[in-house]
Amino acid sequence: MNPIFALIDCNSFFVSCEKVFQPHLEGQPVIVLSSNDGCAIARSNEAKALGIQMGAPLFKIQNILRKNRVKVFSSNFSLYGDMSARVMETLKTFSPSLEVYSIDEAFLDLSSLREEELFSYGSQIRKIVKLWTGIPVSIGMGSTKTLAKVANHIAKKHPFGCYVLTKLEDIEEVLRTFPLQEVWGIGRQWSKKLSYVGLRTAWDLAQADIDWIRKTFNLSLARTALELKGLPCSNIEGLVSSKKSIISSRSFGKSVKSFEDLQEAISFHASKVAQKLRQQKSVTALLNVFIRTNPFHAEGAYYTNSCIVPLIFPSQDTAVLIKAARAGLEKIFNKGLDYKKVGVMALSLASEDQIPVSIFQNSKDLLKRQTLLKTLDKLNGQFGRDSLFFASEGVHKTWCSKVSLKSPSFTQDWTQLPRVR
DNA sequence: TCTGGGGTCCTAGGACCC
DNA sequence: TCTGGGGTCCTAGGACCC
């Protein structure tokens, strides 16, 4: 039985999510902005056709937006997360083996199908996903994940939205004109290096000697080359592995000078990190607190600094993390600068039940804290996040990011359900 | 004026151990 | 006085992904 991987990728995912609840957007140029309304991170086909690039800063494309009446949205990540879950649930019905690769992509194992069945099965998946969730997807299939990714590129431009890349002659034809930079795992820097030694297309890499690649470059690239040859080096990873590090960070809407505001923001991020730790049942032993000024500003030197704060006992307690993060901030804060971004990172994670209780900790107190935090999470789950928070996170949060054009919480708030007239 | 956030993996080099 | 090889662990930094 030959392995067959399918890569299902949602088309212009964030934009498609907005369209599901606002059907009048169909056929119009639409973009979704990154947080802080910084740049375009999702574009409808109509917006792409206007020349709006992925990651284009908002202020550079204002003219195009105005002239063409492009509909612009701030990102609404809780909506996208919800829609993503619906798509993944639907995909599960098509194969017992599903790997959720990102918010808008998943691999399916379709090895049990006969080659001649693949295309119609793919078309069926597209149809059902669209019917059940409203989200359009493209599907690429190949004997390795990397080839499935290549096939997906083609599917995106294909009228049927599904492309099967399994025949040897098709693979050669496609790879011969497929730029290396588009290959999964090879970015700008690598493709530049590879072009120095004469490798420019995916076919070039697939033909190269594996040992030479391994010795001259590295193992990852050798794996990619093998996958392009049709030899799988990676399988479907069904289990959701827990994160090895957790970050919360955000740019400020306006730059921030005051230590007190930074303290609030750092506390806010520490609290978010603690919440995520509890969600995946982990504890952290090490925090990294970082702050920086605006790297794009010409005047004033760019300042960025970070500080590692070890915790005495591994923890997932909001109060413990806030205290540690604030201590870190004190060490790296430089008075008089305009800060643009801060964040907190949790490293050295471990499972919460792997941690022995230290003899220096009072187990009664620990239990009390756990109950308190559980209650906090429960209430926030019930009444919406940030219904209940630590005072040190700040009440007014004047340093908050800009979010001016967010769509309603269609799927999370009864009062914001879409109305049908 | 205005440029995202959250991850993973790999490698090199240093410290330390036997 | 001189001399070795192999291993682990940690960290920083680079590159990549969506």
> A116-170, pLDDT tens digit by residue?
999 999 999 999 999 999 999 999 999 999 999 999 999 999 999 999 999 999 9
Show the beta-strand stretches assigned E in A94-181: 98-102, 105-109, 137-142, 162-165
Q: What is the token pair recorded at A295?
A: 């790297």
Residues in chain A: 421
Residue A224 CB-half CA count within 13 A: 23
Residue A318 · residue A266 · CB < 8 Å: no
* Domain ranges in chain A with CATH number 3.40.1170.60: 13-79
From A171, A119, A113, A126, select the one nearest A8 (Cα to Cα): A126
pLDDT score at A172: 97
Q: CA A308, A312, A318, A323 torsion: positive or negative?
A: negative
* Domain ranges in chain A with CATH number 3.30.1490.100: 246-393
* Domain ranges in chain A with CATH number 3.30.70: 5-9+85-135+143-228
- For residue A54, the tally of other CB atoms under 10 A from its CB is 10
Phi (first) and psi of residue A270, to 5 degrees: -60, -40
Name residue A349's beta-bridge partners: A284
Classified by CATH at the fold level, domain A5-9+85-135+143-228 comes out as Alpha-Beta Plaits (3.30.70)
Residue A326 · residue A264 · CB < 8 Å: no
| CATH of span A246-393 | 3.30.1490.100
H helix or E strand, kind and range, residue A188: helix A188-196
Q: Which bases in strand B are touched by protein, i.e. have an atom under 7 Å from a CB?
A: 1-11
A81 is near strand C: CB distance < 7 Å? no
Q: What is the token pair recorded at A155?
A: 């599917």
Buried b (16+ CB within 10 A) or exposed e, A150-160: bbbbbbbeeee
A189 is near strand C: CB distance < 7 Å? yes
Taking the CA of residue A363 and the C1' sugar atom of nucleotide C18, their distance in angstroms comes to 42
| CATH of span A13-79 | 3.40.1170.60
Taking the CA of residue A253 and the C1' sugar atom of nucleotide C12, their distance in angstroms comes to 30
H helix or E strand, kind and range, residue A139: strand A137-142
Q: What is the token pair recorded at A346?
A: 């949790």
Name the nucleotide with the smallest C1'–CA separation from A219: B10
C-alpha to C-alpha distance for A326 and A321, rounded to whole angstroms: 8
pLDDT score at A302: 83
pLDDT score at A344: 93
Residue A291 · residue A305 · CB < 8 Å: yes
Taking the CA of residue A31 and the C1' sugar atom of nucleotide C13, their distance in angstroms comes to 34
Regions of chain A short of the pLDDT cut 50: none
Name residue A246's beta-bridge partners: A346
Nearest CA to the C1' of B8 belongs to which residue? A244
Taking the CA of residue A243 and the C1' sugar atom of nucleotide C9, their distance in angstroms comes to 21
Phi (first) and psi of residue A399, to 5 degrees: -85, 0
A186 is near strand C: CB distance < 7 Å? yes
Taking the CA of residue A246 and the C1' sugar atom of nucleotide B6, their distance in angstroms comes to 8
A313, burial (CB in 10 Å: exposed 0-12, middle 13-18, buried 19+): middle
pLDDT score at A356: 64
From A329, A360, A342, select the one nearest A400 (Cα to Cα): A342
